[in-house]
Amino acid sequence: MNFKEKIFLDKGLVKLLKLIDAYRLNSNIEIYLVGGYVRDLIINQTSKDIDFLTIGKPYDLVNFLSTNIKKSSYSIYKNFGTASLKYKDYIFEFVGSRKESYSKESRNPNVKEGDFKDDIYRRDFTINSLSISLNKKNFGLLLDLFDGRKDLNNKLIKTCLEPKITFKDDPLRMLRAIRFASQLSFDIESETFQGITENKERIKILSYSRISDELNKIIMSEKPSYGFKLLLTSGLLKIIFPEMDNLKGIEKINNHIHKDNFYHTLKVLDNVSKVSNSLWLRWAAILHDIAKPLTKRYNEKVGWTFHGHEDLGSRMVPKIFKKFNLPTNHHMRFVKKLVRLHLRPIALVKENITDSAIRRLLYEAGNDIDKLMILCKADITSKNHEKVKKYLNNFAIVEKKMELVEKNDKIKNFQPPISGDEIINTFAVNPSKIVGEIKEEIKESILEGKIKNSRKEAYSLMLKIGKNKGLIAKI
């Protein structure tokens, strides 16, 4: 099958192809489109990451392309025999053909120059082994050495070579198989999946940075629960993410039974994914109940309890982020905050809503209140439709109340109207515990609604508190 016409529909690629053709006038280079771009082209998906295979080193070609494409930049990685070219929102990757061999003791291959067949034979899955010739004699021709087109049509992930060999050679391919299945909503061929389960222990030789890269791609799938179910069934989840694996299972004592927190978490994750593409909000969904196994207790009167799981879960977030080499910056703090607060709005719908409770929630959530509410709504996974409807209606009441309180009191990203420096200057005191006490009392008075969030009322209260503490304001 020839894909010439389809290739030329991509305007960003056309410019590059014309320059490649010009370069070829003084070169015998062979070049092919390979990998994910070809796969996505066949299933009518778009991609801005485009991989090329060259027979021979690609450095001179990439240098030529960069010289002739304005506002482009390129990098050369001679240790790996690769080069990349960035142009607008495109990333073009060029890889010289090679063959690989592995030893049992290492996940790192011995790499040598090879021909076209050598390179295709080192590909992981049949759907990624497809290539399109960009050479004069057969331009646009689809080359399919492993029936990848058939597996694409059948929505099947299958290794090119024997699964045992494929996964022993590079254990990351086990995660990649599950990632592609999750992203594309494909099945994993039975022998391929068996190969994953039999070789799962080899995943331990990988760095967590490589693992987290694939895990994040699973999380960003349209329905990430599918990928996590595959991780669970294969046994990989227990190795790479035991904290999440520990969520599975139920326990029954007398007539008391608790829900399976693993599958509940997956429902919450899917619910969040329907309304948000935020990776970190999805991580908050994954971790919101992560401490439940550690806080599970049985009470004869009330049944199973998980008291304090939100606080313990919040404290677990940094450790988990560090393990997966995830950023420990504002993204981690965001996830930590949402895990800690995820029960607060739910608690509010169960009782008479006070302005004070609303203020405190707004104060602690700040600008993340909307994302917190997304998580809380997603957390309603009951099969009782009337119960779900009741909770959602109550959440609507809470949100309306938050809107009114915020309009009146401006509590989001609340900054105390009176600073510590002003307290020091007013009462001519040194920085000390008493300054912090005055600030805290002013803050609490605002949150409790005793005074408005205004400088005038806060200043008057400061003078009163100071007087009660035996301080004299400078006149």
Average pLDDT, 10 consecutive residues per value, the chain (475 residues): 80 87 86 94 89 91 92 87 91 86 56 81 94 92 96 97 92 97 97 97 94 97 98 98 96 88 98 98 98 94 92 98 97 98 85 82 91 95 86 87 83 81 91 91 89 89 91 81
| pLDDT computed for residue 63 by the predictor | 92
d(CA 461, CA 467): 10
Question: Token match 């709005």: residue?
Answer: 345
Question: Token match 């409790």: residue?
Answer: 448
| pLDDT computed for residue 475 by the predictor | 60
CA 294 to chain centre: 24
Q: Nearest CA to 304 among 289, 317, 316?
A: 289
| pLDDT computed for residue 449 by the predictor | 87
CATH 1.10.110.30-classified regions of the chain: 156-240
Residue type, 218: I
3-state helix vs strand vs coil in the chain, percent to 5: 55, 15, 30
> May I ask the CATH class of domain 156-240?
mainly alpha
DSSP 8-class letter at 57? -
Model confidence, pTM: 0.88
| pLDDT computed for residue 209 by the predictor | 93
| pLDDT computed for residue 407 by the predictor | 80
d(CA 269, CA 277): 11
| pLDDT computed for residue 176 by the predictor | 97
Question: Token match 């005793």: residue?
Answer: 450
Q: Give every CB contact of residue 376 below 8 A, 6+ residues apart in sequence.
A: 342, 345, 346, 395
Tell me the Ramachandran region of residue 31: left when phi exceeds 0, alpha when psi lies from -120 to 50, beta otherwise.
beta
Q: H or E segment at 332?
A: helix 330-341
C-alpha to C-alpha distances, 373 to 94, 251, 384, nearest whole angstrom: 45, 30, 20
Superfamily in which the 4-154 domain is placed by CATH: Beta Polymerase, domain 2 (3.30.460.10)
Q: List, in sequence order, every residue forming a beta bridge with 93; answer none if it has no partner.
A: 51, 84
Q: List, in sequence order, every residue forming a beta bridge with 112; answer none if it has no partner.
A: 99
CATH 3.30.460.10-classified regions of the chain: 4-154
Cβ contact 265:243 at 8 Å: no
Q: Give every CB contact of residue 9 below 8 A, 6+ residues apart in sequence.
A: none
